[in-house]
Structures are given as C-alpha cells and as structure tokens.
Amino acid sequence: MSTPALKLPRGLRFGVHILLILMAIPCILPLLWMVSTSLKTDEQVFPQATEGVAAVSITDFVPSPVKWSNYPEALQAVPFGTYLKNTLFLCFLNVVCAVFSSAMVAYGFARTEFRGKTVLFVIMLATMMLPPQVVMIPTFVLFQKIGWYGTYMPLIAPYCFGVPFYIFLMTQFFRNIPSEISEAARIDGCSEFRIFFSIYLPLSFPVLATCMLFQFISTWNDFFGPLIYLNDPSHYTIAYGLQQFVGAFDGQWALLMSGATVFTIPIIILFFLAQKTFIQGISTTGGK
Amino acid sequence: MITERSKIIFKVLGAALLAIGLLFLAFNPSSQVTRAYPDREEVVFWHMWTGEWTEVVNRIVKRFNESQEEYEVVALPIPRSGADFKFLLSVAGKTPPDVMAQWRSVLPAWASQGVIMPFEDLMSPEELEAMKEMVYPVVWDIGSYDGKFYGLSVGLNIWALYYRPSHFVEVGLDPDRVFASMDELDAASEKLFRFDASGNILRIGFLPQHFHGWLPSFGGSLYDWESGEVTLRTPANLAALEWMQGYTHRYGLDRIIRFNSSLQSGTGGTMDWPFISGAYSIAFDGQWRVEQLARYAPNLDYRVMPVPPGGTEGLPQAGLVAATFMIIPEGAKNPRGAMEFIKFWSGIVDPDRAAEFYTWGGWLPISQEIAEAPAYRAYVGRYPQFQVFLDILPSPNLTILPPIVEQNYLMDRMNQMEQRVLRLSEEPEPALQGLMIELEREMSKRRERP
C-alpha cells in the first residue's frame, strides 16, 4: 500500500529540494572527506600553512594531484582479498542462519498457542536489554572450553538460534498478517510448516529483507567478534583488518581512507538497492 | 492448532539446524598460523604496532627466529583499541599469548591481580641483578611492582620542547640559546604569540599541557618512593598547575578555544600536529616526533631543547619517562621462549645487535651500552635532535608514574582535573585536593574488596 505523493507547487517543491540538499551537506561531508582523502598524498591530507592557522576551504576537498595509486597501495598493504572473502563467508552464513532461525521463532510467538508463550517472549526481549559486556566473558569462556577459540564458530553459531531483535520485528510483522489467512489454510489442511513457508514467508519479504540487511551490516562492521576470537591474520575480516592501517602513534590517513572507501562502497550500494524494501519493512513493523 | 505433521517438520528442521552446528564443529576451521619452523617451540607474541609499524616488528621477530634453533616467535598485531580486552579475556580463558608488548598504565594493576608473571620466576637472581645494573634506573622502576619485576622495556619515551628557529629569529630570540628557566620559556612564548587586529590568536607561542609531564621540572612528583604514598598536594605540584593555568589567564580561555578549534581535526596524528603548520612555535612532545617529522615534513626547520627547571624547586634535565615494555602473562605456554625473545629484543644479551632494532623504530635505548653502540650512534648522526633526548636519559631527575594499582584511574582523573583547571572551572589547589580525595576513595574501595 503506497501513500499518495504530496502535491506541491513547482516553486515550493524547488525550494524544498534546495533546503533538503543544504541540510544533507553536513551529513555527506564526512563521506566526501573520506573519498577526497583517499586520493591525496600524505602532505595534502591536512593542509599546511607556512605560518599561522590553516583555514579550511572547499578547495581542500579537491586532491591535487590526484593520487589514484593509494587504492592499489591500500589493497596491497593488507590482504583485502582474503579479508573480503572471509567477511562475505561470515555474512552469508550469518544472514541465512539469523534470518531463518529468527523467522521460525517469530512465527511460533505470533501464530501458535502454547503454555508460557508470554513469559518466554518477555525473557527473549529481556536478553536484548543485557549489555554485551556482561555476557562477553562467560560467552568467551564457554566457547574456549568447547574448543572454538581461534575458529569462526563463535562468530556463526550464536546466529543459528535466533536473534532477539529480529524475532521481535518479525513477530510484530507476522501479527499484522490477518490470522484469517492462516486459519483458512489450516481448514484446507495446510500444516503449520506449509503455512509458515508458503504463506507467511512470501508475505513477509520486507521484514525478512530488513533483517537480512541489518545482519549483513552488523557482520560486515563487526570488529569485536573477530578481535576476541580470531588469532590468524588469514582469517581476519575487513572491519578488523582495516584497523591494521592505524599505526601505533600515527595513521596512514590516505591509505586508511582508501581502504575505508572500498569498505564502505558495498554497504552504500546495498542500501540504495534495498532502500524501498528496507523502509517498508521498518514502517510495517513499526505501526499498526 | 499445530498438526502432527507440522510437529514432525519442525523437529526435522530443528535436527537440521543441530546438524549444521555439528558440521561446523567437525569442520572447525582452526585458526593456527602457518609456521616457518614447525619443529621448534612456538612463542606467541601479541603487540599493538599496527600499520607501518608491523613491518618493523616483523623484522625483529625474523632476526630472532634466525638467531637460534629452539624457538619460533609468531607475532600477531592487534589493534590497540581492543588489545587489553582481548588480552584479559585470553588470560581468563587460559589461552593467553606467551609474551605481549604494552605501553599503557597497566603493569601495577595486572601484576597485583596475578595476570602477569614476575621475571623472578624465569631469571636467576644473578641474571636479574646484572640486568638491573645494566639498564637505566627508570627502566627498573617502570617494570617493578611490590618488590618484583614484571616488565622489561624495549623503548623509552621522554618529552622535550620542539621549537621553530625561524619564529625565534622573527621575534628577536636567539634560537641557539637553551632556556635556563621556565620564566625564559614564558617570556619567549609571550613574544612568539601573534594576534590579529581584533585580538584573535593567529599563532600560539607556547601552551602547556600534560600536567604530569611538567611536574618533575618543577621538582614535583606524584609518588613518594620512601613512604610508598601518592603525593598530589605538594607545593611543587601546585606551582606546576598554577603555572599552567597562568597561560589561560594570560591569553584568555575563549581565544585559546577559538584558535584550537580552528586547527585541524586534532586526532593527535603526525599530519595534524599544529607544530608542523606553524600554528604553534614551541610544542611539548615526545621523541617519536623526530622520526615522524623526517618522514612527513622532511623540510621542516625545527630544533629540540630540554624542559627548563621551573618554580623555586625546579630541576634541570627532568621529566617523566614512559616505556613500551614486554610482559609475560600467567598461563603462558612457553614463558622460557618468551624470556629469550625479550632478552634478544631489549639488548640484555647483545646490546650492539639490539641497537639496530631501536633505530628501526626510533625508540630511545634502555641502557647506556645500547646508546653507545655503533648502530645507534650512526642513527643519532642522521637525526641529531635525538641527542637531546639521549642526554636526558641518564639524568637522576627522571621519574615515572606511581607504581600503584590505580595508575590508570589516576591518569584518567588527572587528565580530567587538568582540563577543568585549564578551562578555569576549578582552581589548582582545590583541584589537587579533590583529585587526592577521589584517589583515596578508589584505593579504599579496592582495600575493602574481599
């Protein structure tokens, strides 16, 4: 269901667009700085006045000369190919496991009746309130005891058993789907699994896509997981590997920004591609 | 209503998920690093030298691995933002590395908690005594806690005054003359400040920061080594803090904030150091800037001088020394190998050989033997500014941070206190008093813990 577009006079619409563009500038500045720095030499990164304060000007954003070689240098300075492969491997498994397991649990909460459902739902929600620091040490010790320290397992296994936030989102979404549909299907002899797979999942694409996107971004950006559990540079992910650029007392800014640009582009592309579905998923679960 | 068929399907799916989990278990992609010398004993070494520094560390590790046939050091760079956390978790999980390089204020706390191993367990008393004789006294102090030795430095850090000779000449100061007192520094700074017609700052002559770094030059200290107590409210410490606040009074908080805000991002990196752009004529900073300036601003004309004595109790060639030191965690699988590596790198066993490592990283040596080694002399020949720092090293007026468990806490609270004083929201005397109360409260909390 789409909302009818707001009709504004042409002049006013133009003005609104100008205003929105102006308001968007501060948001896009860091991104522009990142891309611009990625094409600069070390000396250009921070403008140096021979004396006194260097005033920041718009020309500072234009690299001169443009140093394209920062990109191949950055990609060679650390094994980006390996990091990318590892990250995509984790992203794929985490997205599949997290979304599928969460959807199953959410369906249970939304459309089946069993004793203690409300209590379980509240407990599940309560786990979202726990700060990660609280569970980190026991979780680490647990994974270490079962021999998973130094492997990918602690970064994958927890997602095979549902993610509370996704379960909550999906439960809300499933509850919005008229129960008459599932009841009619049940009368026609459909099993719960068939209802879940053939009716609920196809109708829930926006929320599934939203959770997929959330999980993808979360795994893509995860720094602490690989930091804690991985000990072999050949298993590092992009978010963790990117930190290798940050030197002990200094940063190789141009290279760091080249790496960051490469790191950010897939997320931006993904967001633009999935933008409509993403917003639909959020708005559908947010309001009744 | 759930049908029997659905129940079966859900059970099958649950079993499938479990099977996936078991498959992962079986697959269990081990994260072991490929070894160059698999027949040797492995020594796992964690450090925080990332970026361009990793290569320096790898070269030293390679030299060690080539120097003997018993051990193989496997180095793992860890981003410093999470290194302590990873280390502590690994100790808790009984899978720590064999050795780690550190530079944070962690040694007393970790030693008191039994997280790291005393060197007494791994070195004979004669060896320890010989090492103590060899290294600068501060190296021994930095590594000691409660009568035992826990961390051997592999590089020292000292701060001094960097200055721009061209600015000195411009205002009629002699760039060859070293300041004899803090009053001379103040007077020079006054001349070097530049303002526009509206009174806004165009250039800062000098602006003191890092309270703890200035204390020794005022004859102050944070710790009484005789009584083993923290000393914050001393006349010398107060004089140092009042002197620092004097700059804010003289040049105006608003003007200073406005000027500093107009500078670049201020992340503390080399490129945005205001000294390079000429926004500051004199800057108080560490010896690592020499190497960085050679790399990032090779044509910059600058010099270095020691901090002059200040106040009535001031001391020459004084300063606070920090270090990068090696620690061995409790539960390390190969502490003997770790010890051999530490001796190799630090130069305890062969100062001439280790001198080269110090030059690769631009680190200050831990002993006079290393400082006088041919490789290090050649390095100082290339970077004469380093000599200023080397001259300070043997000084009896050097001090270190208090060897107390709350060292990190103290540093954190002291930095906050300094900011309040410099921003004129608190007067120096009550600020020091308040800091002492905060510290005592924290210490008593620890004492009350079971």
Q: For B100-114, what is each residue's pLDDT tens digit?
A: 999 988 999 999 999
Which one, of B259, B370, B244, B364, lies nearest residue B307 by Cα? B244
Q: Amino acid identity, residue A267?
A: I
Average pLDDT over residues B142-155: 95
Gap between the Cα atoms of B390 and B304, Å rounded = 12
Tell whether omega for the bond before A65 is within 30 degrees of 0, i.e. cis: yes
CA distances A27 to A21, A22, A63, A139, Å, are 10, 10, 21, 37
Q: What is the largest CA-CA distance in chain B?
A: 96
Q: Find out whether A203 and A180 touch, Cβ atoms under 8 Å.
A: no
Q: Do B92 and A234 touch (CB under 8 A)?
A: no
Q: List phi, psi (to 5°) of A134.
A: -70, -40
* Choice between A112 and A55, residue whose per-residue pLDDT is larger: A112
Output DSSP code: residue B303. E
Nearest 10 degrees: Cα torsion B433, B439, B443, B446: 140
User: B332: alpha, beta or left, given left = phi > 0 and alpha = psi -120 to 50?
Assistant: beta
Q: Do B264 and A136 touch (CB under 8 A)?
A: no
CA dihedral sign, ordered B386, B392, B394, B398 = negative
Q: Do B32 and A150 touch (CB under 8 A)?
A: yes
Encoded tokens for A18: 């100008």
Encoded tokens for B181: 């007192």
Chain A residues closer than 8 Å to B13 by CB: 104, 193
Average pLDDT over residues B138-145: 94
Mark out the alpha helices in B28-157 (DSSP H runs).
53-67, 83-92, 107-112, 125-134, 137-143
Output DSSP code: residue A160. G
Asked whether residue A234 carries a pLDDT value surpassing 60, the answer given is: yes
Question: Helix, strand, coil % (nearest 5) of chain A?
Answer: 75, 0, 25
pLDDT band at A52, cuts 50/70/90? very low
pLDDT band at B3, cuts 50/70/90? low
Q: Find out whether B338 and B332 touch, Cβ atoms under 8 Å.
A: yes
Asked whether residue A105 carries a pLDDT value surpassing 70, the answer given is: yes
Average pLDDT over residues B204-229: 93
Q: Does A178 touch chain B (CB under 8 A)?
A: no
CA distances A285 to A34, A75, A105, B355, Å, are 34, 40, 16, 65
Which one, of A257, A250, A251, lies nearest residue A34 by Cα? A257
Encoded tokens for B138: 């501060």
* Choice between B428 and B294, residue whose per-residue pLDDT is larger: B428
B405-419 tens-digit pLDDT = 999 999 999 999 999
Gap between the Cα atoms of A227 and B83, Å rounded = 8
Average pLDDT over residues B146-157: 94
A151-189 tens-digit pLDDT = 999 999 999 999 999 999 999 999 999 988 888 998 999
Q: Does B59 touch chain A (CB under 8 A)?
A: no
Chain A residues closer than 8 Å to B79 by CB: 223, 227, 240, 243-244, 246
Q: What is the CA radius of gyration of chain B?
A: 26
Residue keyed to tokens 């066993």: B349
Q: Do A253 and B269 touch (CB under 8 A)?
A: yes
pLDDT band at A249, cuts 50/70/90? very low
Chain A residues closer than 8 Å to B170 by CB: none
* A142 contacts: CB under 8 Å, gap ≥ 6: none
Residue keyed to tokens 């001439």: B352
Q: For testing the chain B interface, which of A29, A33, A41, A51 should be mutated: the one with the most B CBs within 10 Å?
A: A51
Q: Find out whether B193 and A44 touch, Cβ atoms under 8 Å.
A: no
| Mean pLDDT, rounded, of chain B | 89
Q: Amino acid identity, residue B293?
A: L
Encoded tokens for A36: 């611009």
Residue B105 to chain A, least CA–CA distance (Å):
16
Encoded tokens for B344: 């190799």
Chain Cα centroid distance, residue B390: 17
So what's the pLDDT on residue A135?
86
Q: Find out whether B401 and B232 touch, Cβ atoms under 8 Å.
A: no
Gap between the Cα atoms of B137 and B399, Å rounded = 9
Interface list for B 366-425 with A (CB within 8 A): none
Encoded tokens for B227: 């009584």
Nearest CA in chain B to A241: B79
Chain A residues closer than 8 Å to B29 by CB: 151-152, 235
Q: How many C-beta atoms surround the C-beta of residue B49 within 10 A?
A: 22
Chain B residues closer than 8 Å to A222 by CB: none
Gap between the Cα atoms of A178 and A264, Å rounded = 39
Pairing of strands B201-203, B194-195: antiparallel
Gap between the Cα atoms of B227 and B114, Å rounded = 24
* B218 contacts: CB under 8 Å, gap ≥ 6: B182, B236, B237, B239, B240, B243, B309, B310, B311, B313, B314, B315
So what's the pLDDT on residue A288?
40
* Choice between B92 and B16, residue whose per-residue pLDDT is larger: B92
So what's the pLDDT on residue B231?
92
Gap between the Cα atoms of B58 and B74, Å rounded = 9
Gap between the Cα atoms of A175 and A161, Å rounded = 21
ipTM for the whole complex: 0.74
So what's the pLDDT on residue A267?
82
Asked whether residue B7 carries a pLDDT value surpassing 80, the answer given is: no
SS3 B28: coil
Q: Amino acid identity, residue B417?
A: M
Residue A64 to chain B, least CA–CA distance (Å):
17
Q: For testing the chain A interface, which of B3, B90, B94 should be mutated: the one with the most A CBs within 10 Å?
A: B3
Q: For testing the chain A interface, which of B54, B89, B192, B193 should be mutated: the one with the most A CBs within 10 Å?
A: B89
Asked whether residue A233 carries a pLDDT value surpassing 90, the answer given is: no
Gap between the Cα atoms of B65 and B309, Å rounded = 46
B235-262 tens-digit pLDDT = 999 999 999 999 999 999 999 988 887 7
Gap between the Cα atoms of B339 and B119, Å rounded = 8
Residue B267 to chain A, least CA–CA distance (Å):
9
Chain A residues closer than 8 Å to B364 by CB: none
Residue A232 to chain B, least CA–CA distance (Å):
5
Q: Find out whether B357 and B60 touch, Cβ atoms under 8 Å.
A: yes
